[in-house]
Amino acid sequence: MIAVGSDHAGFPLKEEIKKYLEKNNIAYIDVGCYTPERFDYAISAQKACDKVVSGECDKAILCCGTGVGISMAANKVKGIRACCCSDYFSAKLTRAHNDANVLCLGDRVIGAGLACELVEVFLNTEFEGGRHQKRVDQITAIENGEKLY
């Protein structure tokens, strides 16, 4: 199950991503927003990320104007590793190396075609583990207030 969410600026892109998920028979929960009316991205970020952390959803796809604000909010939720991407390589490697569980996209930055390609590679790339596990664990340690140095 995938959580999708947006603010008003990311709303059109979220709707395009929902069409892509439906076409590919990928189940999702839309946490809002549900209209193009002004809506703050932190609310959708927290709602979607809570579903990932609880295990109700495996990953989340979040959209705002740039993808940046919503990624900042998402990364404040404990257990979330969110990456704002606008290129294929980063969307792939943030899964393979960083075990990202949230992909953030900017409606005002990329088109729906590229966004759906990024969603596809993000959802279909496995974390490689190995040497990358230690680094992901270090991110978690920072989250837990530990000093790495």
Q: Would you tell me which residues interact with ligand RB5 (CB under 6 A)? A: 7, 9-10, 41, 64-66, 68-69
Least distance from ligand RB5 to the Cβ atom of residue 14, Å? 11
Active site (annotated) includes residue 132 = no
Q: Which is nearer to ligand RB5, 73 or 119 (CB)?
A: 73
Least distance from ligand RB5 to the Cβ atom of residue 104, Å? 9
Active site (annotated) includes residue 64 = yes
Least distance from ligand RB5 to the Cβ atom of residue 73, Å? 9
Per-residue three-class SS string for the chain: CEEEEECCCCHHHHHHHHHHHHHCCCCEEECCCCCCCCCCHHHHHHHHHHHHHHCCCCEEEEEECCCHHHHHHHCCCCCCCEEECCCHHHHHHHHHCCCCCEEEEECCCCCHHHHHHHHHHHHHCCCCCCHHHHHHHHHHHHHCCCCCC
Catalytic residue among 57, 64, 83, 84: 64
Q: Which is nearer to ligand RB5, 63 or 119 (CB)?
A: 63
* Residues designated catalytic: 64, 97
